[in-house]
Chain A
Amino acid sequence: MAKPASVIEMAARKVVALAGNPNVGKTCIFNNLTGARQHVGNWPGVTVEKKEGYFVYNGEKVRVVDLPGIYSLGAYSEDEVVARNYLLSGDAGVVINIIDASNLERNLYLTVQMLEMGTNVVAALNMVDEAEVRGIKVNTDKLARILGIPVVPTVAPKKRGMAELVAAAMQETMKSREPLKILYGKEVEEELAKLEALIDKHPMLTAKLSSRWLAVKLLEGDDYALRQVGKDILQQREESIRRIEENSGQDAESLIVEGRYGFIAGIVEETVTRRKTPEERLTLSDKIDKIVTHRVLGIPIFLAAMWAVFQFTFTLGDPLIGYVETFFEWLGGLAGAWITNEVLASLVVDGIIGGVGSVLVFIPPIFLLFLAISFLEDSGYMARAAYVTDRFMHTLGLHGKSFIPLLIGFGCNVPAVMATRTLENKRDRIITLLITPFMSCAARLPVYVLFVGAFFAQREGLVIFSLYLLGIVIAILMGMLFKTLFFKGEQAPFVMELPPYRMPTLKGTLIHMWERGYSFIRKAGTIIFGVVVLIWLLSNIPFGVPVEQSLIGRLGQLMTPIFAPCGFGTWEAAVALSFGILAKEAVVGTLGVVYGVGEEGLATAITQYFTPLSAYAFMAMTLLYIPCVAVIGAIKRETNWKWAGFAVGYTLAIGWIVAFLIYQGGKLLGLG
């Protein structure tokens, strides 16, 4: 082609995939290779994130696909299924397998599985410096010789070995390699031979898969393999599994996994020299762990860490919120002056800029919270926090891992919902998703501040704290309820790797923060925008009338009797709660508008409409009822409309019941 095309427009013909265990520095290598040229999307049909980028090698554009971090190519989690399907699709010409040099045994399991599939693999032996500090030396040449693939030592944060890695990968790409053959012992091999012979009679199968690989996978009971073959092979499989169990006294699957580990143990023996055996060695990480996971000290340390995160987020974030508010006021003023049409001006200024702005003011604290959480994650502490909280989470029928999303929920429920992705088990994910909205996020605070200031002047701190506690208690009760109601008996094993402590790199932590924060902004741009316009329409039809005569005002009047038993049966309260679905802090602004006093006179105005008791019931309602639009959108994205709808309905019911109990109970006790 004579047509000159810039490298960016060029289609990438070569594709490199990155694969490896979690916590091996895969993301760091991905960032090194692709720089800022990356794109985050989703794998089709699942919520597993798909990251792609590209680099240029010898004037040729190469696409890089980052596979999720996995331990094995089984079908245990969505991540594993995604990775395996991708590798089977043959899209990637070569896979860069990132291996933690200080934990060869575990990491090679994935490597060996890929080699058995016949995938072109280049191994990046990462963090060799860290391994050497820990007294572990790997003979790279020998490892390469035994595995039959290039092995490149790397230190990702220092960008060491990157050029060699790329060169090796480019040389391997598109090669056709014989699948690795591991001998699984006499009993298994006999049956494998029978299965292979049978598979070889089906050219349709052997055209795309190696018969040996398929046979091994069949004995392992792999879903994908089972779906590929016909009745004759399945029959032979049943027979083979029975025979293996008869002859060896062990099931086929265990024998195969053990065989693989045996093969790996041999490799480790040959290539790794250690100063001490792994069981004797006590690393710095272990010493830190002794204190951090201590049965007495663990919890205070954990609480101190969480306190630091919140101090960091809110002391730095609060002044920044002011700047963002000023920016949107300025923008609104500017737009208002420009647009002469009254209706359009109202839509743009009050509706779009005001509405989207009220959500985007939370960007500073959200980004700061993500920065702090990314730091804790990258340093390795998050896994310990999950360990420390596991005991408590067990009462909810959840694991310590679910604690992280709930914690994030105190900042903002949206990223909290997104963080449930790290949970392997669907049941854990859904329970966590459903109780996350009860974590009192930063947006509810302005509502508390207003009401507590007006009604509970001497006991502000205590009352606000009681609301946070109320949210937690409701979450616990609901967690226990869902556990017994929907998911009886299902319990996933809790197994979690504790990565060694590391000093996070600034770049890595910032990228991590940006990825999460950006998905929040993206959401604010789509779902929230739509709802903002809808609510503006409702409150402005017919145009020009006071709010109480608009559609939403009338709707509010209709809802009044519903809220009367809770102590706030006024149309103003109903309208404020409707706007609160948009963003919880909008409750304050709406009350200001409907009482016609603005935010300044609001504290005095509400004393005419609420008693301390009904004010408390109203705050409880604000905390518990329907999560904001952004959260509903996030829940839908992580699950489906059914669960999102359920979350809306049941939180509304809980909010109403709790507010009712508080108000009526209080009245019975003579508080009203």
Chain B
Amino acid sequence: MAVLPLGFLAPGRVATVKDIIGGRNLRCRLTELGFVAGAKVRVFQNQPCGPVIVSLGDGRVAIGRGTAQKIMVEELSAS
């Protein structure tokens, strides 16, 4: 399976986090929130512009589009 930015996933898709590309600050913030390698996320809302809503554990998180492009994920399944 290909690794692609989280921002490209359609709603309903589930993926695992592979890597975060970006500066130390961004990586630090995202990993501390739980976007670590291996974490499972499901996309709930992904519109042409505006933030992406994903599940992270049992919580829901809105991530800015720019930030979502820096979270590299591997798609798991289509549901």
Give the contacts of B1-46 with A (CB-CB under 8 A). Answer: 14, 22, 24-34, 36-42, 44-45
| Contact present for B45 and A289 (CB under 8 Å) | yes
| Contact present for B50 and A390 (CB under 8 Å) | yes
Q: Is A436 an interface residue (CB 8 A)?
A: no
| Contact present for A71 and B33 (CB under 8 Å) | yes
Q: Is B53 an interface residue (CB 8 A)?
A: yes
| Contact present for B53 and A293 (CB under 8 Å) | yes
Which residue in B38, B51, B53 is a CB contact (below 8 Å) of A400? Answer: B51
- Give every chain B residue within 8 A of A509 (Cβ-Cβ): none
- Give every chain B residue within 8 A of A74 (Cβ-Cβ): 28, 32
Against B, the Cβ 8 Å flags (1 = close, 0 = not) of A464-498 are 00000000000000000000000000010111111
| Contact present for A106 and B59 (CB under 8 Å) | yes
CB distance from B42 to the nearest CB of A (A): 4
CA distance A104 to B59 in the complex (A): 9
CB distance from B65 to the nearest CB of A (A): 8
Instruction: Evaluate whether A494 and B34 lie within 8 angstroms (CB atoms) in the complex, with A106-B57, A254-B27, A390-B51 already known.
Output: no
Which residue in B28, B45, B49 is a CB contact (below 8 Å) of A253? Answer: B28
Instruction: Evaluate whether A494 and B51 lie within 8 angstroms (CB atoms) in the complex, with A106-B33, A258-B36, A289-B45 already known.
Output: yes
CB distance from B29 to the nearest CB of A (A): 6
Which residue in A286, A391, A400, A494 is a CB contact (below 8 Å) of B44? Answer: A286
- Give every chain A residue within 8 A of B38 (Cβ-Cβ): 258
Instruction: Give the one of A102, A106, A285, A495 with max B CB within 10 A.
Output: A495
| Contact present for B32 and A71 (CB under 8 Å) | yes
Total interface residues on A, CB under 8 Å, equals 44
Instruction: Evaluate whether A495 and B53 lie within 8 angstroms (CB atoms) in the complex, with A261-B39, A286-B44 already known.
Output: no
Against A, the Cβ 8 Å flags (1 = close, 0 = not) of B40-71 are 11101101111101011111111110110000
Against B, the Cβ 8 Å flags (1 = close, 0 = not) of A279-302 are 110000110011001010000000
| Contact present for A399 and B55 (CB under 8 Å) | no
Q: Is A267 an interface residue (CB 8 A)?
A: no
Which residue in A261, A290, A494, A497 is a CB contact (below 8 Å) of B59? Answer: A497
CA distance A257 to B28 in the complex (A): 9
Against B, the Cβ 8 Å flags (1 = close, 0 = not) of A365-403 are 000000000000000000100111011000000011000
| Contact present for A278 and B58 (CB under 8 Å) | yes
CA distance A390 to B66 in the complex (A): 12
Which residue in B32, B39, B44, B60 is a CB contact (below 8 Å) of A497? Answer: B60
Q: Is A420 an interface residue (CB 8 A)?
A: no
- Give every chain B residue within 8 A of A254 (Cβ-Cβ): 27, 31, 36-37
Against B, the Cβ 8 Å flags (1 = close, 0 = not) of A98-120 are 00001111100100000000000
| Contact present for B26 and A278 (CB under 8 Å) | no
Against B, the Cβ 8 Å flags (1 = close, 0 = not) of A388-431 are 10110000000110000000000000000000000000000000
Instruction: Evaluate whether A493 and B31 lie within 8 angstroms (CB atoms) in the complex, with A103-B57, A106-B59, A387-B50 already known.
Output: no
Of chain A, the residue at the smallest CB distance from B35 is A495
Q: Is A313 an interface residue (CB 8 A)?
A: no
| Contact present for A279 and B55 (CB under 8 Å) | yes
CA distance A285 to B40 in the complex (A): 19
| Contact present for A493 and B30 (CB under 8 Å) | yes
Q: Is A540 an interface residue (CB 8 A)?
A: no
CB distance from A331 to the nearest CB of B (A): 49
CB distance from A64 to the nearest CB of B (A): 26
| Contact present for B67 and A493 (CB under 8 Å) | yes
Of chain A, the residue at the smallest CB distance from B79 is A280
CB distance from B71 to the nearest CB of A (A): 10
Q: Is A72 an interface residue (CB 8 A)?
A: yes
CB distance from A617 to the nearest CB of B (A): 38
| Contact present for B60 and A286 (CB under 8 Å) | yes
CB distance from A497 to the nearest CB of B (A): 6
| Contact present for A103 and B59 (CB under 8 Å) | yes
| Contact present for B64 and A495 (CB under 8 Å) | yes
- Give every chain B residue within 8 A of A290 (Cβ-Cβ): 44-45
18 CB contacts below 8 A, A to B, read: A74-B32, A104-B57, A257-B28, A278-B55, A280-B79, A285-B60, A286-B60, A295-B47, A387-B53, A391-B49, A491-B66, A493-B64, A494-B64, A496-B63, A497-B59, A497-B60, A498-B53, A498-B60
Q: A254-B36, A278-B58, A491-B66 are in contact. List 4 more A-B contacts (CB 8 A).
A: A106-B33, A257-B28, A278-B57, A494-B62
Interface on B for A, CB 8 Å cutoff? 14, 22, 24-34, 36-42, 44-45, 47-51, 53, 55-64, 66-67, 79
